[in-house]
């Protein structure tokens, strides 16, 4: 494997059809929140070309229109981003993330199709195609599309990063998390793909969450990353309760009250008190409080009508909304 800036190579993965599209949305949200760290971790050479003092723009709707693929963004975590180079030139970054499946034989061709369709609409723009594969054991056949004969025809190359290359460099990736939040995302995805028992997954989840305390991440980053970690590493309820209690003790010892990821399972202290009393009221208050915090963080303050709907819901309905909030595009969509 070639090395770039002491990081795993940029040549190594591809993609096909996904098995669970619910993995894709958290990745897209993570890239939106941490685009520069994402580029620095996975594609350092391209990162070095970008003028980060200039704004960048996500063009996902434009990508769907250009490609004519109505399923784009549903099957794959694809992003199209317009940035400026240090020379002031416009660069279009086509980013493909393959979460669950492994690369099909048509993957290289599909990447070429997306490239030439964008080029056909914007011939003056420099297009850089990038792919990250999270679960591909061998990426040697990816990153090149060729069609022709006797040396004539098409040869299209694109950068590919194989996340699995980090599995053998787990400790190095943990160290990079000190200054790069996307390393936390990568660790969570690697742990999600790793074959392990539930107690082992709990240990991995605790190890990754501990990094947020160890490196003293800002509160807003902690909450965002904890939600991603929860999404990737779901545990049986009993183990989630155990982990929550361990992290509450960690909170108290570090004086960093950040364990808010357990909002999704209504594991707030208010619920804990309710459980001890054998009451459901405490559990519902905990779930409602958790859901409202997530809603306000993502969509803003609900309307009075929406607030009444939320307050009148029972615990199973609150659970369903908590499960869907990361993928909902609007509050109305969530409550529909």
Predicted confidence at residue 31, as pLDDT, reads: 94
Predicted confidence at residue 24, as pLDDT, reads: 60
| pLDDT of 176 higher than 90 | yes
221 or 182: which leads in pLDDT: 182
User: CA–CA separation, 286 vs 290, rounded Å?
Assistant: 6
Predicted confidence at residue 235, as pLDDT, reads: 87
**pLDDT tens, position by position, 321-330:** 877 776 677 8
- In eight-state DSSP terms, residue 47 is H
| pLDDT of 42 higher than 80 | yes
Q: What percent of the chain has pLDDT over 90?
A: 38
278 or 191: which leads in pLDDT: 191
Question: Sheet containing 159-162: which strands, arranged edge to edge?
Answer: 57-58, 77-84, 90-98, 126-133, 159-162
268 or 113: which leads in pLDDT: 113
In this prediction, residues 140-153 reach a mean pLDDT of 90
Determine if residue 88 is left, alpha or beta; phi over 0 gives left, psi from -120 to 50 gives alpha, anything else beta: left
Predicted confidence at residue 240, as pLDDT, reads: 83
User: CA–CA separation, 60 vs 148, rounded Å?
Assistant: 32
Strand partners, 93: 81, 128
Predicted confidence at residue 147, as pLDDT, reads: 92
In this prediction, residues 295-305 reach a mean pLDDT of 83
Predicted confidence at residue 262, as pLDDT, reads: 45
In this prediction, residues 136-158 reach a mean pLDDT of 89
In this prediction, residues 289-296 reach a mean pLDDT of 80
């Amino acid at each position: 494997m070639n090395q770039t800036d002491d990081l795993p190579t940029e040549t190594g993965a591809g993609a096909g059809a996904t098995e669970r599209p619910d993995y894709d949305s958290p990745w897209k949200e993570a890239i939106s929140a941490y685009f520069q760290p994402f580029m620095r971790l996975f594609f350092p050479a391209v990162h070095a070309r970008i003028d980060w003092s200039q704004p960048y723009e996500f063009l996902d709707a434009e990508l769907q229109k250009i490609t004519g693929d109505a399923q784009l963004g549903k099957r794959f975590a694809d992003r199209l981003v317009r940035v400026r180079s240090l020379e002031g030139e416009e660069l279009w970054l086509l980013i493909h993330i393959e979460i669950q499946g492994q690369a099909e034989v048509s993957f290289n061709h599909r990447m070429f199709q997306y490239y030439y369709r964008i080029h056909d609409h914007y011939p003056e723009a420099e297009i850089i195609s990038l792919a990250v594969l999270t679960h591909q054991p061998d990426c040697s056949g990816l990153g090149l599309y060729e069609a022709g004969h006797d040396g004539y025809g098409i040869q299209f190359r694109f950068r590919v990063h194989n996340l699995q290359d980090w599995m053998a460099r787990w400790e190095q990736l943990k160290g990079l998390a000190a200054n790069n939040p996307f390393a936390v995302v990568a660790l969570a995805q690697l742990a999600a793909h790793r074959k392990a028992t539930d107690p082992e997954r709990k240990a991995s989840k605790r190890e990754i969450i501990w990094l947020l305390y160890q490196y003293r991440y800002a509160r807003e980053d902690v909450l965002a990353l904890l939600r991603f970690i929860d999404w990737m590493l779901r545990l049986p309820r009993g183990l989630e309760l155990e982990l929550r209690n361990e992290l509450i003790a960690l909170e108290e010892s570090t004086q960093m009250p950040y364990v808010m990821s357990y909002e999704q399972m209504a594991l707030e202290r208010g619920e804990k008190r309710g459980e001890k009393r054998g009451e459901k009221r405490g559990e519902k208050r905990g779930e409602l409080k958790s859901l409202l915090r997530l809603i306000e963080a993502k969509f803003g303050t609900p309307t009075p009508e929406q607030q009444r709907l939320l307050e009148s819901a029972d615990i199973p309905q609150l659970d369903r909304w908590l499960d869907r909030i990361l993928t909902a595009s609007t509050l109305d969509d969530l409550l529909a």
